[in-house]
Amino acid sequence: MSDLLERLRGVVGAAHLLVDGDLGTWEVDWRKRWRGRALAVARPGSTAEVAQVVRLCAEHGTAIVPQGGNTGLVGGSVPDDSGRQLVLSLARLDRVRGLDAANMTLTLEAGCVLQRAQQAAADAGLLLALSLGAEGSCTIGGNLATNAGGTQVLRYGNAREQCLGLEVVTAAGEVWDGLTGLRKDNTGYDLRDLMIGSEGTLGIITAATMKLHPLPAAQLTALAACSDLSGCVALLELARQQLGASLTGFEVMGAPALALVAKHFPQLPRPLPDAAWTVLLECADAHSEVQARAAVEALLQSALERGHIGDAVLAESGAQSRALWHVRESIPLAQSLEGPNIKHDIALPVSAIAGFVARTDAALQAAFPGSRVINFGHLGDGNLHYNLQAAPGLQAQAFLDEHEASVNRIVYDAVVACNGSISAEHGIGALKRDELLERKSPVALAMMKAIKRALDPHGTLNPGRVLPG
Amino acid sequence: MSDLLERLRGVVGAAHLLVDGDLGTWEVDWRKRWRGRALAVARPGSTAEVAQVVRLCAEHGTAIVPQGGNTGLVGGSVPDDSGRQLVLSLARLDRVRGLDAANMTLTLEAGCVLQRAQQAAADAGLLLALSLGAEGSCTIGGNLATNAGGTQVLRYGNAREQCLGLEVVTAAGEVWDGLTGLRKDNTGYDLRDLMIGSEGTLGIITAATMKLHPLPAAQLTALAACSDLSGCVALLELARQQLGASLTGFEVMGAPALALVAKHFPQLPRPLPDAAWTVLLECADAHSEVQARAAVEALLQSALERGHIGDAVLAESGAQSRALWHVRESIPLAQSLEGPNIKHDIALPVSAIAGFVARTDAALQAAFPGSRVINFGHLGDGNLHYNLQAAPGLQAQAFLDEHEASVNRIVYDAVVACNGSISAEHGIGALKRDELLERKSPVALAMMKAIKRALDPHGTLNPGRVLPG
């Protein structure tokens, strides 16, 4: 091993091969659910160095765990506890390689923090339309490796749809330069989309060319109160018809989720406090704020007349709009402050959501009386964060230890019965690997395993994540 | 062989296993460049029958050529001349399995003709946003197998971006049911996008779930005259800024292309006859025709003021709009009537197009004086059909036979120098296979071959297409 470390040091430099001292930053995940022990942390400074590191590890049969901002929620970016896996941090590959305004593309390295990438686009008067809670620390490479979602998927798609080209280091340590800025390219198999979402198990993304969009002239945020989830779905359908592509966000928040925010962040505004469900919708307009405002007002008016919603407010300024989003984004943090909870990141056909929630809420209440479903998410994409908090008074951690598997069974059985997904945007990582093995179609699993063997025959890339190692 | 045919007959029924008589419909491609000889044509009536046919062929080591509407342009859907390949026609799998209006999805079988699928969506007041010249006879399965493009990619993406889920028969004759209608699903590798665009070499698509969109309230078509290609690109940039997502089409037509239309279809309108370049742009609006018209008029006005365009017309009715599109769509037919020509389907970064065309036009003129570049295509996607017609007076077929390889070399060298694609939307098939081998990154080719071996280890699915058999 010391031979490998010596050679790695020769590649990345002594300052960038971390072996001693506190490696906690790289060994523990964001939720602090996964604590591993790394052989070392290598921080290469270029694609060529990444390739050399991978080749050396391949020679030594040493497993590699690629890591970006380490903000994942499924334990995909931290080492196991064997002390034999190398963490390969992409953090130093953080250059913006170029912005092509006429082609509306941005080429940048994997370690670029998402917010910096958004700013680079904005500086050129353009929009990088990927936005999520962790954007201040997550990186483009991680966003693509996990096919991140976020709050604008409804209009712009997941990270996959935002990406035109990739540069990837293969398991053999070769560099594939697929950094094209083309909207159309039918020259062979779709390696780009295969790499995206493969969580570092098929190759290591070192750079990407991302699509940019025109900055909208105006952006408006509204809240609407619904007495049931069917009302939210009806509002969504109406919003799609009336706003078309101007509808850029459609979030839903259940009353218990907003109650937690009110409890832990009493200083935040509480618009429409009595609603069973609150919709946050966002409208962007290419032309003018006046036009956007008229369109949203007309939408809310027709939704009121049809009885889909009971009340609504429209933010009067950018500051008000940000305040409404801040409430939405505070839900996960309020949940953490309330104590450990069982998280789900599920997707369903929009048409199945109201029925799913009614049935599953009831099944969970029957099995765990007093437990609280903290339900919120991206209704426009059919994506709910359907989380369970133990009944007040119970020891939350003890509840988790005892019941997590049973809770998951109830929720995931119901998801699968609706032809839904047990991981909409967070990925599989280590957390959901066994669940995937149990629930994914055996034909699909067999294809996945065959592809893994084909592209990583020695199984050194992030082993044990997505598929068994 | 007669044993295999007997057993195939048992699966699909005698009426649907064609062995005698004229199989020309299935053995010759649309351009009549590829004429093969099939062992037989099997026309299964269900996914289960497709799977049985594939299993029987796997047992016998018989190669399968899947075929949809047989409208491809690269020889991917007709058998070779060995008389040993089975054509598997998906034409009888033509059911619409279901439309979910609230989820905005349409599930249908591979053999559905695109126009019928569009109609099924329109009947529900929704839009299937895939549209191309061959829509009256091409099928959804073929559209997905080749990742078809078309005239609305700018706004809605290629066939890939329109598809949420697939049902696929694997090389081993198993059925993968991946027919989800989910906008987000991060449960493992992206098998869907790997199958899409693989031209039947990794699996046989038997059904798909497609995204639908709201029908726009209004659709407007305009023509604009530009004196050079840079003006067209500047207009595109302005149109994106001012129209945002309402810009649904942006086509460009060079004067020689429109001259051919005028020659062979003198009855068609000739708006803006003196322009070196004519742009056809389309704008869809969710709200109203009045709003769309105002937006397009404002756009054309600012483009005139900035000198990007010299003149413009805006269609006053749906009939006028269709007439303008009809001119655009008549270019390929006018080319055929003019005689054999050398077709290219290239993509470039939009920012590189004007320079590419100037340099490559000059290089072709120098090498083949008097030859005519018939240049038109989807400028909004950076996709040009950059075709060459022999100089008037030359024997077109003789010119092709003698010079096609040299012409391709000039064009493709220039494309690759701009980081472009030698097949934007038509695919590789048999026609561009050797070109791909020569020009694709060796690292990417090695990954493609590994994937082919992994998913079709005996090489029975459409062998010799995309990759060597």
pLDDT value of position B224:
97
Residue B270 scores a pLDDT above 90 = no
Q: Which of A305, A139, A160 is nearest to A235 (CA)?
A: A305
pLDDT value of position B287:
79
- Which of B152, B183, B293 should we substitute to test contact with A (largest number of A Cβ atoms within 10 Å)? B183
Asked if the Cβ–Cβ distance from A186 to B426 is below 8 Å, we say yes
Written as six digits, the tokens of B364 are 């072709």
Q: Which of A116, A129, A122, A131 is nearest to A101 (CA)?
A: A122
Q: In chain A, which residues have their Cβ closer than 8 Å to the Cβ of B443?
A: 170, 174-177
Give whole-number Cα distances, A445 to A438, A459, A467, B189, B336, in Å. 10, 16, 9, 9, 47
- Which of B187, B243, B386, B432 should we substitute to test contact with A (largest number of A Cβ atoms within 10 Å)? B187
Give the C-alpha separation, A305 to B282, whole Å: 34
Q: In chain B, which residues have their Cβ closer than 8 Å to the Cβ of A175?
A: 443
Give A444-460 as a DSSP string. Answer: HHHHHHHHHHHH-TT--
Q: pLDDT tens for chain A, 469 residues: list them.
A: 689 999 999 999 999 999 988 899 999 998 888 999 999 999 999 999 999 999 999 999 999 999 999 999 999 999 999 999 999 999 999 999 999 999 999 999 999 999 999 999 999 999 999 999 899 999 999 999 999 998 899 999 999 999 999 999 999 999 999 999 999 999 999 999 999 999 999 999 999 999 999 999 899 999 999 999 999 999 999 999 999 999 999 999 999 999 999 999 999 998 888 899 999 999 998 778 898 999 999 999 999 999 999 999 999 999 999 999 999 999 999 998 998 899 999 999 999 999 999 999 999 999 999 999 999 999 999 999 999 999 988 999 999 999 999 999 999 999 999 999 999 999 999 999 999 999 999 999 999 999 999 999 999 999 999 999 8
pLDDT value of position B22:
87
Q: In chain B, which residues have their Cβ closer than 8 Å to the Cβ of A103?
A: 349-352, 382
Q: In chain B, which residues have their Cβ closer than 8 Å to the Cβ of A185?
A: 347, 421, 423-424
Q: Does B158 touch chain A (CB under 8 A)?
A: yes
Longest dimension (CA), chain B: 74
- Which of B189, B194, B247, B302 should we substitute to test contact with A (largest number of A Cβ atoms within 10 Å)? B189
**Contact call for residues B231 and B311 (beta carbons, < 8 A):** no
Asked if the Cβ–Cβ distance from B189 to A451 is below 8 Å, we say yes
Strand partners, A376: A253, A385
Give the C-alpha separation, B180 to B164, whole Å: 6
Which chain A residue lies closest to B436 (C-alpha atoms)?
Answer: A187
pLDDT value of position B1:
64
Q: Does B453 touch chain A (CB under 8 A)?
A: yes
- ipTM of the assembly? 0.97
Q: Which of A115-119, B299-303, B390-394 has the lowest mean pLDDT?
A: B390-394
> CB-CB: which of B188, B291, B422 is closest to A187?
B422
Asked if the Cβ–Cβ distance from B186 to A291 is below 8 Å, we say no
To which residue do tokens 């997707």 refer?
A347
H or E segment at A127? strand A126-127
For the beta carbon of residue B196, count every other beta carbon within 10 angstroms.
Answer: 29
* Cα dihedral: A127, A130, A131, A136 (round 10): -90
Asked if the Cβ–Cβ distance from A440 to B100 is below 8 Å, we say no
pLDDT value of position A151:
85
Give B36-66 as a DSSP string. Answer: --EEEEE--SSHHHHHHHHHHHHHHT--EEE
Asked if the Cβ–Cβ distance from A451 to B453 is below 8 Å, we say no
Asked if the Cβ–Cβ distance from A180 to B466 is below 8 Å, we say no
Q: In chain B, which residues have their Cβ closer than 8 Å to the Cβ of A350?
A: 102-104
Tens-place pLDDT, residues A125-162 = 999 999 998 999 999 999 999 999 988 999 999 999 99
Asked if the Cβ–Cβ distance from A189 to B436 is below 8 Å, we say no
Give the C-alpha separation, A360 to A366, whole Å: 10
Q: Does A157 touch chain B (CB under 8 A)?
A: yes
Give the C-alpha separation, A294 to B302, whole Å: 25
pLDDT value of position A338:
92
Asked if the Cβ–Cβ distance from A188 to B348 is below 8 Å, we say no
Percent of chain B at pLDDT above 70? 100
pLDDT value of position A101:
94
3-state secondary structure B62-131: CCEEEECCCCCCCCCCCCCCCCCEEEEECCCCCCEEEEECCCCEEEEECCCEHHHHHHHHHHCCEECCCC
Q: In chain B, which residues have their Cβ closer than 8 Å to the Cβ of A381?
A: 183-184
Q: Where are the beta strands (DSSP E) in B195-295?
A: 204-211, 213-214, 218-226, 247-254, 277-285
Q: Does A197 touch chain B (CB under 8 A)?
A: yes
pLDDT value of position A150:
86
Q: In chain A, which residues have their Cβ closer than 8 Å to the Cβ of B105?
A: 349
**Contact call for residues A205 and A249 (beta carbons, < 8 A):** no
Asked if the Cβ–Cβ distance from A443 to B184 is below 8 Å, we say no
Residue B351 scores a pLDDT above 90 = yes
Tens-place pLDDT, residues A219-275 = 999 999 999 999 999 999 999 999 999 999 999 999 999 999 999 999 999 888 889
Q: Does B152 touch chain A (CB under 8 A)?
A: no
Tell which B residues from 206 to 265 touch A, by Cβ distance under 8 Å: 214, 216, 233, 237, 240-246
Tens-place pLDDT, residues B221-246 = 999 999 999 999 999 999 999 999 99
